[in-house]
Amino acid sequence: MDKNADIIKRIQDNYAQLSKSQKIIAEYIINHYDKAAFMTAAKLGNSINISESTVVRFANTLGYDGYPELQSALQELIKNKLTTVQRLEMTDETDEVSILNNVLKSDIENIKATKEEIDKNSFKEVVDNIFKAKRIYIIGFRSSTAIAEYLGFYLNLILENVILVKPGISDVFEQMLRVNSEDLVIGIGFPRYSKRTLEVMKYAKSQNAKIVAITDSLISPLTEIADEILLAKSNMASFVDSLVAPLSLINALIVSVGIREKDKITDTFEKLENIWNEYGIYLSKNI
């Protein structure tokens, strides 16, 4: 069974062979996936008068290793389908200290999961591709704009061929007009995925550019057209998405590129320090 298949499609494909009790579970999930995604097996079972063990067997029947894997698939589903208002309505916590603790705990878990699951060989390959490319285009819109600009800012200090594609007066396709097979395109996208990011990446692919996707999971639409994929966990924190792990991954990418150009960037930063001091860019140490 396809591990990357949408959970709703899995249920539909297997519905005929489910037991009577399992069909009740299936119908509840299809109609209330937004609620089921945050229920334990026991709580889901209690809500429809089905035993916890039946819920677990249901997950196994669909091809999951257990209920936690099914629950993760549900959470992936709602990341892509819930509106911001729906996400906000799902947030019951109101105590500020609890919110602080929960968000920090979630971000820590995201970084740990990213460290454990990221493909190290792909990471090395992406760094190699950065140095092989004639031009490097960085694309990231909506909430991913901040990550794209951060990556572009630092790569521009290290390299001389980085182009940050920005929405604005000049259409993004005009900025990508000359992209070709000698270029590298880094597309950054997290739920809810920007349609324009995907469109621009597809255009670059049609021009035979090398494509890198920095995204959250293998079912992300960005992975379908990518030559290399770097995954960083981005679970929901109420109505916003956690971008802590993606930013940490970007930091690692910047440092890896910088270390390879250590002698060059040492000269660059020495020159920059002189400029910053001369024009008072930063607060004086004496203040």
Residue type, 275: I
Q: Are residues 164 and 239 in the same domain?
A: yes
Q: Are residues 244 and 125 in the same domain?
A: yes
pTM: 0.70
Domain contains 91: no
Between 91 and 111, the more confident residue is 111
Domain contains 94: no
Mean pLDDT score, 180-193: 93
Mean pLDDT score, 117-141: 95
Domain contains 66: yes
Q: Are residues 118 and 252 in the same domain?
A: yes
Q: Are residues 132 and 222 in the same domain?
A: yes
Task: Give the per-residue pLDDT at 9.
Answer: 82
Q: Are residues 123 and 74 in the same domain?
A: no
Instruction: Say which residues have a Cβ less than 8 Å from residue 239's Cβ, sequence separation at least 6.
Output: 84, 85, 87, 88, 91
Q: Are residues 122 and 49 in the same domain?
A: no
Q: Are residues 79 and 120 in the same domain?
A: no
Domain contains 210: yes
Task: Give the per-residue pLDDT at 259.
Answer: 92
Domain contains 271: no
The domain tally of the chain equals 2
Q: Are residues 253 and 156 in the same domain?
A: yes
| CATH number assigned to the domain comprising residue 26 | 1.10.10.10
Domain contains 100: no
Task: Give the per-residue pLDDT at 59.
Answer: 93
Q: At what angle do helices 52-61 and 20-31 cross, to 10 degrees?
A: 80
Residue 14 has pLDDT above 80, yes or no: yes
Domain contains 272: no
Task: Give the per-residue pLDDT at 36.
Answer: 85
Q: Are residues 134 and 240 in the same domain?
A: yes
Backbone angles phi, psi at 201, to 5 degrees: -65, -40
Q: Are residues 119 and 217 in the same domain?
A: yes
Mean pLDDT score, 75-81: 69
Give CA–CA dist 82/270, Å, rounded.
48
Q: What is the mean pLDDT of the chain?
A: 86
Q: Are residues 126 and 246 in the same domain?
A: yes
Domain contains 202: yes
Range(s) of the domain holding residue 33: 5-86
Task: Give the per-residue pLDDT at 81.
Answer: 61
One DSSP character per residue, 90-159 reads T-----HHHHHHHHHHHHHHHHHHHHHHS-HHHHHHHHHHHHH-S-EEEE--GGGHHHHHHHHHHHHHH-
Mean pLDDT score, 250-256: 95
Task: Work out whether strand 184-188 and strand 210-215 pair parallel, antiparallel, or are unpaired.
Answer: parallel
Q: Are residues 30 and 71 in the same domain?
A: yes
Mean pLDDT score, 138-154: 94
N-term to C-term CA, the chain = 64
Give CA–CA dist 103/93, Å, rounded.
11
Last residue of a domain, one of 86, 102, 121: 86
| CATH number assigned to the domain comprising residue 213 | 3.40.50.10490
Mean pLDDT score, 231-256: 84
